[in-house]
Protein backbone atom coordinates (compact mmCIF):
# COMPACT_ATOMS: atom_id res chain seq x y z
CA UNK A 1 0.00 0.00 0.00
CA UNK A 2 1.35 3.45 -0.83
CA UNK A 3 0.01 6.96 -0.28
CA UNK A 4 1.05 9.50 -2.91
CA UNK A 5 -0.06 12.88 -4.29
CA UNK A 6 -2.76 12.88 -6.96
CA UNK A 7 -1.66 13.94 -10.45
CA UNK A 8 -3.72 14.86 -13.54
CA UNK A 9 -2.99 11.41 -15.01
CA UNK A 10 -4.98 9.83 -12.17
CA UNK A 11 -8.21 11.49 -13.29
CA UNK A 12 -9.80 8.53 -15.18
CA UNK A 13 -9.14 6.06 -12.35
CA UNK A 14 -10.37 8.51 -9.72
CA UNK A 15 -13.55 9.25 -11.68
CA UNK A 16 -14.20 5.52 -11.86
CA UNK A 17 -13.65 5.19 -8.09
CA UNK A 18 -15.92 8.13 -7.32
CA UNK A 19 -18.63 6.84 -9.67
CA UNK A 20 -18.73 3.44 -7.99
CA UNK A 21 -18.72 4.94 -4.48
CA UNK A 22 -22.25 5.51 -3.19
CA UNK A 23 -22.44 8.73 -1.20
CA UNK A 24 -20.10 10.72 -3.44
CA UNK A 25 -21.68 13.25 -5.76
CA UNK A 26 -19.90 14.21 -8.95
CA UNK A 27 -20.05 17.83 -10.10
CA UNK A 28 -18.90 19.85 -13.10
CA UNK A 29 -15.77 20.60 -11.03
CA UNK A 30 -14.82 16.93 -11.33
CA UNK A 31 -14.29 17.24 -15.09
CA UNK A 32 -10.67 16.99 -16.21
CA UNK A 33 -9.92 20.69 -16.70
CA UNK A 34 -11.23 22.00 -13.34
CA UNK A 35 -9.70 18.96 -11.63
CA UNK A 36 -6.28 19.96 -13.02
CA UNK A 37 -6.77 23.60 -12.01
CA UNK A 38 -7.66 22.49 -8.48
CA UNK A 39 -4.53 20.30 -8.23
CA UNK A 40 -2.34 23.13 -9.53
CA UNK A 41 -3.84 25.56 -7.00
CA UNK A 42 -3.14 23.15 -4.14
CA UNK A 43 0.12 21.47 -5.13
CA UNK A 44 0.88 18.12 -3.50
CA UNK A 45 -2.05 18.24 -1.07
CA UNK A 46 -4.57 15.81 -2.57
CA UNK A 47 -3.58 12.21 -1.95
CA UNK A 48 -4.52 8.73 -3.06
CA UNK A 49 -3.87 5.19 -1.93
CA UNK A 50 -2.52 2.62 -4.36
CA UNK A 51 -2.73 -1.08 -3.68
CA UNK A 52 -1.07 -3.51 -6.09
CA UNK A 53 -0.97 -0.73 -8.70
CA UNK A 54 -4.69 0.09 -8.36
CA UNK A 55 -6.09 3.34 -7.01
CA UNK A 56 -8.36 2.35 -4.12
CA UNK A 57 -8.80 5.54 -2.10
CA UNK A 58 -8.73 9.30 -2.52
CA UNK A 59 -8.92 12.60 -0.71
CA UNK A 60 -9.05 16.01 -2.36
CA UNK A 61 -7.46 18.72 -0.23
CA UNK A 62 -7.45 22.47 -0.75
CA UNK A 63 -7.03 25.57 1.38
CA UNK A 64 -7.60 29.30 1.25
CA UNK A 65 -4.59 30.27 3.35
CA UNK A 66 -6.60 30.11 6.61
CA UNK A 67 -8.63 26.90 6.52
CA UNK A 68 -8.28 23.55 4.84
CA UNK A 69 -11.18 21.99 2.96
CA UNK A 70 -11.46 18.26 2.35
CA UNK A 71 -13.55 16.61 -0.35
CA UNK A 72 -14.06 13.25 -2.05
CA UNK A 73 -12.82 11.06 0.77
CA UNK A 74 -13.50 7.66 -0.75
CA UNK A 75 -12.22 4.16 -0.10
CA UNK A 76 -13.17 1.39 -2.51
CA UNK A 77 -15.69 -0.87 -0.80
CA UNK A 78 -13.56 -4.06 -0.67
CA UNK A 79 -10.68 -2.08 0.87
CA UNK A 80 -12.54 -0.42 3.74
CA UNK A 81 -11.67 -0.88 7.39
CA UNK A 82 -7.93 -1.10 6.72
CA UNK A 83 -7.01 2.41 7.83
CA UNK A 84 -6.77 3.93 4.34
CA UNK A 85 -9.08 6.85 5.15
CA UNK A 86 -7.15 7.46 8.35
CA UNK A 87 -3.86 7.43 6.42
CA UNK A 88 -5.18 9.94 3.87
CA UNK A 89 -6.46 12.25 6.59
CA UNK A 90 -3.17 12.09 8.48
CA UNK A 91 -1.18 12.93 5.37
CA UNK A 92 -3.52 15.79 4.42
CA UNK A 93 -3.47 17.41 7.84
CA UNK A 94 0.33 17.10 8.09
CA UNK A 95 0.77 18.78 4.70
CA UNK A 96 -1.69 21.53 5.58
CA UNK A 97 0.14 22.11 8.87
CA UNK A 98 3.41 22.56 6.94
CA UNK A 99 1.65 25.44 5.15
CA UNK A 100 0.49 26.96 8.44
CA UNK A 101 -3.09 25.79 8.02
CA UNK A 102 -4.07 24.20 11.33
CA UNK A 103 -7.85 24.08 11.03
CA UNK A 104 -9.84 22.24 8.38
CA UNK A 105 -13.46 21.62 7.46
CA UNK A 106 -15.38 18.91 5.70
CA UNK A 107 -19.01 19.26 4.61
CA UNK A 108 -21.07 16.12 5.09
CA UNK A 109 -24.58 15.66 3.71
CA UNK A 110 -27.25 15.16 6.36
CA UNK A 111 -28.64 12.17 4.47
CA UNK A 112 -25.29 10.35 4.43
CA UNK A 113 -25.45 8.38 7.69
CA UNK A 114 -22.41 6.25 6.92
CA UNK A 115 -20.24 9.27 6.23
CA UNK A 116 -21.53 10.97 9.37
CA UNK A 117 -20.78 7.85 11.42
CA UNK A 118 -17.24 7.89 10.09
CA UNK A 119 -16.67 11.53 11.03
CA UNK A 120 -18.33 11.07 14.45
CA UNK A 121 -15.80 8.29 15.10
CA UNK A 122 -12.81 10.57 14.44
CA UNK A 123 -11.66 11.76 17.86
CA UNK A 124 -9.93 14.88 16.54
CA UNK A 125 -12.95 16.09 14.59
CA UNK A 126 -15.95 17.89 16.05
CA UNK A 127 -19.38 17.96 14.44
CA UNK A 128 -20.62 21.57 14.42
CA UNK A 129 -24.19 22.41 15.40
CA UNK A 130 -23.50 26.15 15.57
CA UNK A 131 -23.02 26.66 11.84
CA UNK A 132 -25.30 26.51 8.81
CA UNK A 133 -23.71 26.49 5.41
CA UNK A 134 -25.16 28.81 2.76
CA UNK A 135 -24.05 28.19 -0.79
CA UNK A 136 -24.50 29.85 -4.14
CA UNK A 137 -23.47 29.06 -7.67
CA UNK A 138 -22.96 31.62 -10.43
CA UNK A 139 -25.99 31.60 -12.73
CA UNK A 140 -28.31 30.15 -10.08
CA UNK A 141 -29.93 33.49 -9.16
C1 LIG B 1 -15.97 6.80 5.04
C2 LIG B 1 -14.88 5.94 4.40
C3 LIG B 1 -13.96 6.83 3.58
C4 LIG B 1 -14.07 5.22 5.50
O5 LIG B 1 -13.01 4.50 4.89
P6 LIG B 1 -12.19 3.36 5.67
O7 LIG B 1 -10.97 3.05 4.87
O8 LIG B 1 -13.09 2.23 5.97
O9 LIG B 1 -11.78 4.05 7.02
P10 LIG B 1 -10.57 3.62 7.99
O11 LIG B 1 -10.35 2.14 7.88
O12 LIG B 1 -9.38 4.48 7.72
O13 LIG B 1 -11.18 3.96 9.40
C14 LIG B 1 -10.65 4.95 10.25
C15 LIG B 1 -11.41 4.90 11.55
O16 LIG B 1 -12.78 5.25 11.32
C17 LIG B 1 -13.65 4.20 11.74
N18 LIG B 1 -14.71 4.06 10.74
C19 LIG B 1 -14.56 3.79 9.43
N20 LIG B 1 -15.76 3.77 8.81
C21 LIG B 1 -16.67 4.01 9.78
C22 LIG B 1 -18.08 4.11 9.78
N23 LIG B 1 -18.80 3.98 8.65
N24 LIG B 1 -18.70 4.34 10.95
C25 LIG B 1 -18.00 4.50 12.09
N26 LIG B 1 -16.65 4.42 12.15
C27 LIG B 1 -16.00 4.19 11.02
C28 LIG B 1 -12.78 2.96 11.77
O29 LIG B 1 -13.29 2.04 12.70
C30 LIG B 1 -11.45 3.50 12.16
O31 LIG B 1 -11.35 3.68 13.55
P32 LIG B 1 -10.24 2.89 14.40
O33 LIG B 1 -8.92 3.25 13.78
O34 LIG B 1 -10.43 3.41 15.77
O35 LIG B 1 -10.56 1.46 14.21
C36 LIG B 1 -15.50 4.86 3.48
O37 LIG B 1 -16.46 4.15 4.19
C38 LIG B 1 -16.14 5.42 2.22
O39 LIG B 1 -15.49 5.60 1.20
N40 LIG B 1 -17.47 5.69 2.28
C41 LIG B 1 -18.22 6.20 1.11
C42 LIG B 1 -17.84 7.61 0.75
C43 LIG B 1 -18.07 8.56 1.88
O44 LIG B 1 -19.10 8.54 2.52
N45 LIG B 1 -17.06 9.41 2.11
C46 LIG B 1 -17.12 10.46 3.10
C47 LIG B 1 -17.62 11.72 2.44
S48 LIG B 1 -17.64 13.06 3.58
Q: Whose alpha carbon is nearest atom 19 of ligand 1?
A: 118
Pocket test for ligand 1, best of 118, 120, 121, 124 (most atoms within 8 A of CB): 118
Instruction: Evaluate: CB of 51 within 6 angstroms of ligand 1.
Output: no
When divided into structural domains, the chain yields a total of 1
CA of 118 to the centre of ligand 1 (A): 5
- How many whole angstroms separate alpha carbon 29 and alpha carbon 49? 21
8 and 32 Cβ atoms separated by less than 8 Å: yes
The answer to the question of residue 115 being in a domain is no
pLDDT band at 141 (very low <50, low <70, confident <90, very high): low
Which residue segment(s) compose the domain that 62 sits in?
Answer: 2-107
The CA R_g of the chain, rounded to the nearest whole Å, is 15
pLDDT band at 130 (very low <50, low <70, confident <90, very high): very high
The 10s digit of each residue's pLDDT in 53-87 is: 999 999 999 999 999 999 999 999 999 999 999 99
User: Coil, strand or helix: which one is 24?
Assistant: coil
Residue 43 belongs to domain with CATH number: 3.40.630.30
Amino acid sequence: MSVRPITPADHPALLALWRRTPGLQLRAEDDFEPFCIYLARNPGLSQLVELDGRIVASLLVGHDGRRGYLQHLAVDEPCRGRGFARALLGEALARLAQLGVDKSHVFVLRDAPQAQAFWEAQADWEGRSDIRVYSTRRGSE
